[in-house]
Structure 1
Amino acid sequence: MKPSRLLLIVVLLTNTCFCFSQGISDELKSWLSTNELSKIKKAELRIDQGEQILFSHQLRNLTDTIVKEEVNYLSLSQNLVVDKKFGRLLMETKEYFATGFGSKLEIYKKYLDHYTKIDTLGKFKTVHALNDSIDIYISDANFYSDKSGVKGNLIIAANAVHKSNVNLQSAVLLCEKALLRLKNRQYDIEENVQPDVIKLVVQSVDKEKEEVRDGIVPVVVEKKDEEEVVQAEPETIIAVIEKDDVKQEEKTVEPKKAVYFTVQILADKKPVSDSKIRTIYKGSLPVVENQGDGWYRYSLGKFDSYPAAKKALAESQVKGYVVAYKNTDRISVREAISLISK
């Protein structure tokens, strides 16, 4: 074997071992089974293969100082500009990252979904919030993965692959953060405190000295003319209509565009029969068909909030994920949440 070829193999193996050792902490390793660790190691190898192809230049130029820091898809792609060259590489490595990140998420989510389900007292509120964010990242990754199938425009397709990878990597990192909180029993409420009890402590303050006692920043309630000033809730909308003795002006409100969430369970290049859909889902939710980008997509119900759709997914007991639509256009879950909040 040629020395240069041997050196290349050594470099690749070194980077592979580095990625795996940095990709999962020793605390999580001790928590997972041997079989799960084996699957995660294979997943890390797939991710590393993709990184070696896509970011070979960055990896070659890593200094000793940078090597000690965390290196992952997010950090390596920080200044990524998707041109034709990178576009071809992104399409080439699409499956490396999809299968690598997907395998890790499958294992991590099994634990997270189990513990958030049995945590009825809400001791791990942060973990619940992280798990919701993880689900949104996964849904958005699936959304961009679908968009990457567009034909005739390499740059658009490659950008979609990149966004899918970013969402998958973000989901993996949040999973590891949430699992560490579970393993280390980082409760958000004390075990002997009821979750529905909220104590509000208002501490007096000497405004001239700006004194803070016991390290707690006090809350100051200002008063004007001995009347307490009450701030209206941000959701409250007060409509003031000025009446005229002769005529009252009528105002029309433009209707909002329909934005909804739904649970996608199936996608095919051709229409799917009702009997085939029934083999996947036999519940009472209506099946919605959406066609676009050469695909027929089938989902369950229409929901006006992400939590409602997520609950429906859990109750349906099917393998699917939450997606979002604006009228008949597929949009990312994050965009849908933003539109509804406005």
Structure 2
Amino acid sequence: MKFCKWIITITALLFSFNAKSQHIPDDIKNWLSSGELSKIKKAEIRIDQGEQILFAQQLRDVGDSIPEENRNYLNLSENLLINKKTSRLLLETKAYFESGYESKLEIYKNYLDHYLKVDTLNKYPKSNLINDSIDIYVSDARFFRDKSEIKGNLIAAANAIHQSNKNLQSAVLLCEKALVYIKNGEQNTELSLLDQAEPETKPLVVQEITVVTEEKKAIQSKEEIKPAITQQPVQKESATIITKATEEPKETKPSTAINKDSDEIYFTVQILADKKPVPNERIKKVYNGNLEIIENQGDGWYRYSLGKYNNYTAAKKALQNANVKGYVVAYKNKTRISVREAITYLQKLNQ
């Protein structure tokens, strides 16, 4: 068995080094330094290794029917049957896809965030919206990665990994599209970006979540959520004040829409997570500002986040202003849910 895996790994390495650099759009390739190109190449090797292990049968079946430049996790996994055998392979390749996609995202996002930050004249409105969709995909990928850590149900964990891989792949493709549009002055922005990025897939068994398969719908969901009451960050005198999820929210009045079904849906900026309670001194090293710090406990983790917000846009703005390494997450009452699920839920309540 080990010998077979060794052969697969060597094959993936040879394939990756011999393949043309078709994974990087030509329009943005000249932006990248030699170091960044090398890092992306290593990331693609990791992804190719995962594909060779997880999709060995599919790769044999499709042969050359899928051109190299169009081959990715999304179209290879379109008819993936997640049984016990596939579940074990998903667990085995988890690190391959995660490290590969996140390495590419780190480089692409640095460029994308830079161009959008200096875009004071709003020359790239479509790319700004795309960037929000990318952030949602990445946040949801982390959400499903956390779900995959729950032990006791192999297939449920594998489904969570699968969904996380799809979200990361979609985020990479959107980054490439947004950078190409910036390079070309946002020409042809009327196209739906996810038409080629995410084919229809089977619903997950982890939990019922409606996955938006078109970037246009993702943007629409974001825009339709804007009319919801925007809750400004609750200012506190000290960042050492921690509100636990088991307590009533302090100085926070949810909108009428949130209370319609006695459910509190809110977005918050996660900055820290640990298997045991984190002392205030350590929290201050991560964030020592004035936003309220909330502690949520679940799935064996203590998670710490900043503020409660009634829409995604306000939470993302708080993340940018806080100047910390974190990301937007969502909660329904005391249970963490995906950002996309929260947006979809609030959108229905506001209809």
TM bucket, shorter chain: 0.7 to 0.9
- Matching residue of 1:271: 277
Separation in 1, partners of 2:162, 2:313: 27
Q: 2:41 is matched by which residue type in structure 1?
A: K
Q: 1:295 is matched by which residue type in structure 2?
A: W
Q: Which moved further from structure 2: 271-280 or 179-188? A: 179-188
- The SS at the match of 1:22 is coil
Separation in 2, partners of 1:6, 1:266: 37
Separation in 1, partners of 2:341, 2:286: 28
Separation in 2, partners of 1:175, 1:51: 21
Matched pairs, number = 277
The answer on whether the counterparts of 2:269 and 2:319 sit within 8 Å (CA) in structure 1 is yes
- The SS at the match of 1:128 is helix
- Matching residue of 2:311: 305
Residues 95-144 of structure 1 show CA distances to partners (whole Å, capped at 9, x for unaligned) of 11111000110111111111112112221111011101000000000000
- Matching residue of 1:92: 92
Q: How far did 1:61 drift? A: 2.7
- Matching residue of 2:239: none
The answer on whether the counterparts of 1:264 and 1:321 sit within 8 Å (CA) in structure 2 is yes
Q: 1:258 is matched by which residue type in structure 2?
A: E
Decide whether aligned partners of structure 1 residues 284 and 277 sit closer, same or farther in structure 2, where only a CA change above 3 A counts. Answer: same
- Matching residue of 2:119: 119
The answer on whether the counterparts of 1:150 and 1:157 sit within 8 Å (CA) in structure 2 is yes
Q: 1:270 is matched by which residue type in structure 2?
A: K
| Residue 301 (structure 2) aligned to one of 285, 288, 295 | 295
Q: 1:298 is matched by which residue type in structure 2?
A: Y
| Residue 328 (structure 1) aligned to one of 313, 329, 334 | 334
- The SS at the match of 1:31 is coil
The answer on whether the counterparts of 1:257 and 1:326 sit within 8 Å (CA) in structure 2 is yes
Separation in 2, partners of 1:8, 1:264: 38
The answer on whether the counterparts of 1:19 and 1:48 sit within 8 Å (CA) in structure 2 is no
The Cα RMSD (Å) is 2.4
Separation in 1, partners of 2:187, 2:21: 27
Q: How far did 1:31 drift? A: 1.2
Separation in 1, partners of 2:21, 2:180: 16
- The SS at the match of 2:58 is helix
Q: How far did 1:10 drift? A: 7.8
Q: TM-score, normalised to structure 1's length?
A: 0.76
Decide whether aligned partners of structure 1 residues 10 and 293 sit closer, same or farther in structure 2, where only a CA change above 3 A counts. Answer: closer
The answer for unaligned runs of 5 or more in structure 2 is 190-226, 228-258
Decide whether aligned partners of structure 1 residues 5 and 158 sit closer, same or farther in structure 2, where only a CA change above 3 A counts. Answer: closer
Decide whether aligned partners of structure 1 residues 55 and 5 sit closer, same or farther in structure 2, where only a CA change above 3 A counts. Answer: closer
The answer on whether the counterparts of 2:22 and 2:68 sit within 8 Å (CA) in structure 1 is no
The answer on whether the counterparts of 2:8 and 2:53 sit within 8 Å (CA) in structure 1 is no
Decide whether aligned partners of structure 1 residues 327 and 70 sit closer, same or farther in structure 2, where only a CA change above 3 A counts. Answer: same
- The SS at the match of 1:330 is strand
Q: How far did 1:66 drift? A: 2.4
Identical residues among aligned pairs (%):
60
- Matching residue of 1:160: 160
Residues 184-230 of structure 1 show CA distances to partners (whole Å, capped at 9, x for unaligned) of 222699xxxxxxxxxxxxxxxxxxxxxxxxxxxxxxxxxxxxxxxxx
Q: How far did 1:5 drift? A: 11
- The SS at the match of 1:47 is helix
Q: How far did 1:29 drift? A: 1.5
